[in-house]
Structure 1
């Protein structure tokens, strides 16, 4: 079934939506997801999504729930539709009809330091090792790693410039001495192979003029985890989770970690306190401070 957001050539409605997203510097992945999710509504309606009524939105969300669409997916669709109705159509009244559902957040999968080292050493080439080292060493999202350019490496200030962060936000990420040394090795090899250029991508894809895809980065992580005999379910974001958790365990202030991750809300960063096992073990229980129980004081009998 056709609808204006997917038809070719690009309809004025789709172009206006794309312009609105470009103006806010949304990443390519976010734009693709928003177009897909708004397309879901158009397919449900069988007509242009800008003709939707409040009752249409209600029926649409009910059908999603009945079809067993996961809550995180439903909330992502709500985000896309709210942007569409508020920014593109200037109909905030419709956006208020969209309901976000509460759901318990799962604790992130975190690798131990030894597992991270094994995974990075299990990569098959220097480019892959460097890309995954950036994800862990700077705590970047997979799309942020993909969109890095050579010029984003600021060795003078020891920073990585992230110009395509979530929501189009710009930030500086940390650049450690070891990571810089690895990136310099990759620069030498990439130049020798003819794929690296001063104005080009830090991690080119199969075509040097295009960046490595997020899908390929995901595949690289999965294959490296398998080669390293890591049983946990691992993806590129696992390295970002591990970065934040290990910093927290080392005593880094949680607000600094929030800035490094580019989190808009501290609540998102605070989640890592639940998986920082070294931090938990470092705390002395108030029971121990009472001094009631000493080794050998308690009889093993009932």
Structure 2
């Protein structure tokens, strides 16, 4: 969706629509957010502007937005909650509108102080659910699916992708963005990936992962150009992430794993298992590409929760 179309769809006065379009360009080009994130933020602000149109009795100008009070914002959040939005969605909607308000202030369009005065809805913090080490290794083993009626190269391909997710802590989009020329084979023991916000990081690749990628390349029937995708689909085009998700879902059933055992859970497993083996939190932060250490620290809670569960289950006096 283009900036012009987004602006045209914004139910607001002309000056607000112009600022809205500039903000979307800022998110996409300067902050380099993903297209899906830009679209979601734009949708949240358009919803707010539509609310203001009814709330104020007409299209909201920049002066109207600057003059908003905390009471106006709480009325918006209340209306959205009555429509069925949960706290996490409300928090995202408020974050999007705060971003728009900050942009207005930075570009000299006015200070909408009400946005800083309203508290975000409280969201229960859910801990990541890692896959046990043995199960993670089984997911990355092509032999786990040996009974399936699928070509050997497809099984090897899926195993190589999953090995990268667990062995390097990659997001699935990062693994599928690798080119053939970047494959960690033939003495190459590290990869470079670009994560959220365009942040680039280098990652070591352990021998087991190198072997999985090499086995896939040996089986792959397609001639892969150095600048083309490393992982391809049945017709030789870029591999769709849903294929990998479906493969994990099939193995999840065979291995008796819960629905939380997804490709992204393997990234959680990478971090949790490194921490459990004495990994340094700062190093794990760099490997995951987290901008803030506080994001990585959630894995310390996962590890403590695991230890407490083990204590409760196995200590002789735990149930006394």
Q: What TM-score do you get using the length of structure 2 for normalisation?
A: 0.70
Give the structure 2 partner of residue 79 of structure 1. Answer: 95
SS in 2 for 1:220: helix
Whether 1:177 aligns to 2:207 is yes
Give the structure 2 partner of residue 147 of structure 1. Answer: 177
**Alpha carbons of 1:35 and 1:157: their partners in 2 closer, same or farther (altered >3 Å)?**
farther
Q: Structure 1 unaligned segments of length 5 or more: list them.
A: 285-294, 296-302
**Alpha carbons of 1:179 and 1:39: their partners in 2 closer, same or farther (altered >3 Å)?**
farther
Q: How does 1:1-302 map to 2 (within 5 A)?
A: 4-5=5-6, 13-14=20-21, 17-18=24-25, 20-45=27-52, 53=65, 54=68, 57-87=73-103, 90=107, 93=112, 95-96=115-116, 99-121=119-141, 122=144, 125-153=155-183, 158-163=189-194, 165-190=195-220, 192-194=221-223, 196-204=224-232, 208=236, 210=238, 212-213=240-241, 215-276=242-303, 280=307
Contact 2:165 2:266 in 1 (8 A): yes
**Alpha carbons of 1:83 and 1:277: their partners in 2 closer, same or farther (altered >3 Å)?**
closer
RMSD of aligned Cα (Å):
3.6
Contact 1:249 1:278 in 2 (8 A): no
- Find the aligned partners of 1:204 and 1:70 in 2 and give their Cα distance: 38
- Find the aligned partners of 2:257 and 2:204 in 1 and give their Cα distance: 27
How big is the shift at 1:48?
Answer: 7.5
**Alpha carbons of 1:249 and 1:198: their partners in 2 closer, same or farther (altered >3 Å)?**
same
SS in 2 for 1:128: helix
SS in 1 for 2:129: coil
How big is the shift at 1:216?
Answer: 4.2
**How many residues matched?**
276
Q: Could you give the per-residue CA deviations for residues 247-275 of structure 1, whole angstroms, max 9, x where no partner exists?
A: 11111112211111112222222222233
**Alpha carbons of 1:19 and 1:257: their partners in 2 closer, same or farther (altered >3 Å)?**
same
Q: What TM-score do you get using the length of structure 1 for normalisation?
A: 0.74
- More displaced, 46-55 or 29-38? 46-55
How big is the shift at 1:153?
Answer: 4.1
SS in 2 for 1:60: helix
> Could you say which structure has the higher helix fraction?
2
Q: Structure 2 unaligned segments of length 5 or more: list them.
A: 10-16
- Find the aligned partners of 2:51 and 2:158 in 1 and give their Cα distance: 41
- Find the aligned partners of 2:226 and 2:173 in 1 and give their Cα distance: 20
